[in-house]
Amino acid sequence: MFIGDYLGRRQIYSPDKLAIIDAGKTPELRLTFRELNERANRFAQWLQGEAGIRKGDRVAIFARDGVEHLDCFHACSKIGAIHIALSWRSHWKEIAGLMERTSPTVFLYSDEFRESVVQLAAALKGTQYEIPHFVHLDGKGVEGSLDFAALLKNSTAEPAHCESVTENDTVCLLFTGGTTGLPKGAMITHKMINWNTLNTVIHDLTHNDIYLNVFPLFHAGGLFTYLSTQITFGNTTILMRQFDPVQVLSLLEREKVTVFAGVPTMYQALTQASNWESADLTSLRFCTSGGAPLPVPLIEKYMSEKGIRFKQGFGMTEFGPGVFALSPDDAKRKAGSIGRPNFFVDVRVVDEQGIDCTPDQVGELLLKGPSMCAGYYGDPEATATAVDAGGWFHTGDVVRHDAEWYFYVSDRKKDMFISGGENVYPVEIESVLYRHAVVAMCAVIGVPDSKWGEVGKACVVLQPGAQVEEKELLDYLKQNLAGFKVPKSIEFMTALPLSGMGKILKRELRKQFSSK
């Protein structure tokens, strides 16, 4: 048994255990670990045979969530190839830029993105970046592409492997959202995956947990936060094509899910679903929230109406992704905290001179440990910028910790703005806004101002049916914050721009309002 053949090893231990429920298929697809492993072997055999894939070659996938992502990832893992997970939110020109950077040999896609693939293929045709093999997952596909289902059917299920794969080899590229230029491709290694699994087991999972994944599988939250650990443990995971509140609540009840994870915007949406009141969620051991602080009123609503306890956490593509965890027992007592570092993660908080901060002093978060990625693919300069000579990863997050070693995110460096010489951290303002009964979602950004350099603008989505005047919300903020932190204006919106993970895209808001 070789490093990377996670499904092959799991089939030995629990071949007939239910591995995956793909609830995005009609009818739903249910696969045991034997069946899931056979699919991965069949695709790996085709990759090594007809496609000529060798260790280190790249295989890209451009599709919404489904078992095909796991087929691709585990096939690559077995044979030493590199799985490239592409965001389905991306424009074809952005995908073309990433293809020029990574040069994949095989490109899988779903019919939903057929037109983008037509344009992509035409743009790359005849160049050194032309993709040799296109494979469609559904529909008819573009001219010359192969049918994935037929490819699996016609391939052998004999075990596939690469004897030279080690724990330090890259198995996957996940792209981080940059503020300028193309996203950087974090190189995910087997070592990183396995140490994250150990951190997750220590803090979270047990044998026989059932997990519902709503995170996109092009993201670390989807592919690795719980899913990779579930496979190692031999547990069942449910996949959805995309987040749908009504379907989520139905699946949680029907499949007796024990662990669920989301971001605050998702938890807010669940409470507004038509089946929220009737949904039986008693099977849940806990829910995990990440991506942003979970508003206390939302925690209280889940506890009082559904008896649900929350774990909260903090992670990032380049590290883990699990970095911090806050236990359910501390959800209210330490509201707003991301918790303490996971067991095998070392942390520092440093000031601008690189000196360690004392409790409650704000500084940049630095991380170190075996669950760190191997750097950025094809970008040694970015890698050298992120990791210092001592091996510490500079996150760009501004944090503090209290005397009990609980950590709090003040903000991202890029989200902080300076108003009249004072540093303003939007997260602090947003946490106050969320305590107001009418606020469903909010985001604070800095916008240009002739007098102060920058001032705050609060973008607010109200609860259904709620009404409020701008002055009332500004007065409320003035009662809870120092004057320089209070935004100068509030923009009421019907919706905020969200990423595939459900995180609020502040860069889109800054683009929208910076010129106004």
Residue 160 and residue 222 share a domain: no
Q: Is residue 285 situated within a structural domain?
A: yes
**CA torsion sign, 110 to 114 to 120 to 124?**
positive
CATH number of the domain bearing residue 141: 3.40.50.980
Residue 424 and residue 363 share a domain: no
Helix/strand/coil for 107: strand
Q: Domain of 371?
A: 193-412
Which residue among 367, 382, 412 closes a domain? 412
pLDDT tens sequence across 248-301: 999 999 999 999 999 888 998 999 999 999 999 999 999 999 877 788 888 999
pLDDT: which is higher, 307 or 336: 307
- The pair of three-digit structure tokens given for residue 91, joined into one six-digit string: 């424009």
Domains: count for the chain = 3
- pLDDT of amino acid 191: 97
Residue 264 and residue 133 share a domain: no
- Pairing assessment for the beta strands 259-262 and 210-213 based on DSSP bridges: parallel
Residue 374 and residue 299 share a domain: yes
Residue 369 and residue 258 share a domain: yes
Is pLDDT of 179 > 50? no
Residue 436 and residue 375 share a domain: no
In single-letter form, the type of residue at position 52 comes to G
Q: Is residue 89 situated within a structural domain?
A: yes
CATH number of the domain bearing residue 439: 3.30.300.30
- Whole-angstrom Cα distance, residue 336 to residue 338? 7
Residue 437: count other Cβ atoms within 10 Å of its Cβ: 8
Q: Is residue 368 situated within a structural domain?
A: yes
Residue 154 and residue 66 share a domain: yes
- The pair of three-digit structure tokens given for residue 242, joined into one six-digit string: 């995309």
Q: How far is CA 234 from CA 14, 36, 206, 237, in A?
A: 7, 12, 10, 10
Query: Could you give the residue ranges of the DSSP H alpha helices within 204-354?
Result: 220-223, 227-233, 245-254, 264-271, 296-306
- Whole-angstrom Cα distance, residue 246 to residue 382? 42
Q: Is residue 19 situated within a structural domain?
A: no
Of 214, 213, 167, nearest in space to 193 by CA: 167
Beta-bridge mates of residue 133: 106
Over its C-alpha atoms, the chain yields an Rg (Å, rounded) of 23
Of 432, 414, 431, nearest in space to 423 by CA: 414
Please give the model's pTM, rounded to 2 decimal places: 0.84
Terminal Cα distance for the chain, rounded: 60
- Whole-angstrom Cα distance, residue 75 to residue 213? 21
In single-letter form, the type of residue at position 310 comes to F
Query: Which regions of 122-195 does DSSP assign to beta strands (E)?
Result: 133-136, 146-147, 170-176, 184-189
Q: Are 504 and 497 in contact (CB under 8 A)?
A: yes
Residue 400 and residue 341 share a domain: yes
Average confidence (pLDDT) over 370-381: 95
Which residue among 353, 386, 412 closes a domain? 412
- Whole-angstrom Cα distance, residue 395 to residue 316? 9
Mean pLDDT of the chain: 92
Residue 201 and residue 156 share a domain: no
| pLDDT-above-70 percentage for the chain | 97
Q: Is residue 9 situated within a structural domain?
A: no
